[in-house]
Amino acid sequence: MIHPNTEVKMVNPQIGLGVFATKFIPKGTILYVVDDMELIYPKDHEMLRSEKYRPHIEKFSYTDQHGNRIVSWDYAKYINHYCDFNSISTGYGFEIAIRDIEAGEQITDDYGALNIEREMECGCGKSNCRKVIRPNDVVTYAKEWDEVIIPALKKIHENEQPLLNYVDDETKGKLDYFLKNNSGYLSIKELFYNRELEHKNYSLNGVAQSIKKTL
Our CB check for Zn ion shows the closer of 13 and 125 to be 125
Q: Name the residue nearer to Zn ion (CB basis): 122 or 186.
A: 122
Among 129, 148, 164, 179, binds Zn ion (CB under 5 A): 129
Stretch that binds Zn ion, among 39-47, 68-76, 80-88, 206-214 (CB under 5 A): 80-88
Give the residues across from 10 on adjacent strands.
17
Q: Is the CB of 71 or the CB of 79 nearer to Zn ion?
A: 79
Q: How far is the CB of 80 from Zn ion (least distance, A)?
A: 10
Residues 143, 149, 153, 159, Cα dihedral to 10°: 170
Q: How far is the CB of 113 from Zn ion (least distance, A)?
A: 14
Number of residues that bind Zn ion (CB under 5 A): 4
- In the shown chain, the binding pattern of residues 109 to 128 toward Zn ion, with x for contact by CB under 5 A and - for none, equals -------------x-x----
Q: What is the x/- site pattern for Zn ion, positions 172-201, by CB under 5 A?
A: ------------------------------
Alpha helices in 89-158 (DSSP H): 137-140, 142-153
Q: Which of residues 83-102 bind Zn ion (CB under 5 A)?
A: 83
What ranges make up the beta strands (E) of 79-167?
Answer: 80-81, 87-89, 94-97, 106-109, 120-121, 132-133
Q: Beta-carbon neighbour count of residue 90 at 10 Å? A: 26
Say how far apart CA 130 and CA 119 lie, in whole Å.
11
| Minimum gap (Å) between residue 86 Cβ and Zn ion | 14
Find all residues with CB under 8 Å of 53, minimum gap 6, and list them: 47
With respect to Zn ion, which residue has the nearer C-beta, 39 or 129?
129
CB of 121 to Zn ion, least distance (A): 9
How big is the CA angle at 118 (ends 114 and 122), to the nearest 5 degrees? 75
Q: Give the number of C-alpha atoms closer than 13 A to the C-alpha of residue 120, restricted to the C-beta side.
A: 21
List helix spans (H) across 29-185: 54-60, 137-140, 142-153, 169-181
Q: Which is nearer to Zn ion, 82 or 192 (CB)?
A: 82
Contact residues: Zn ion, CB under 5 A: 83, 122, 124, 129
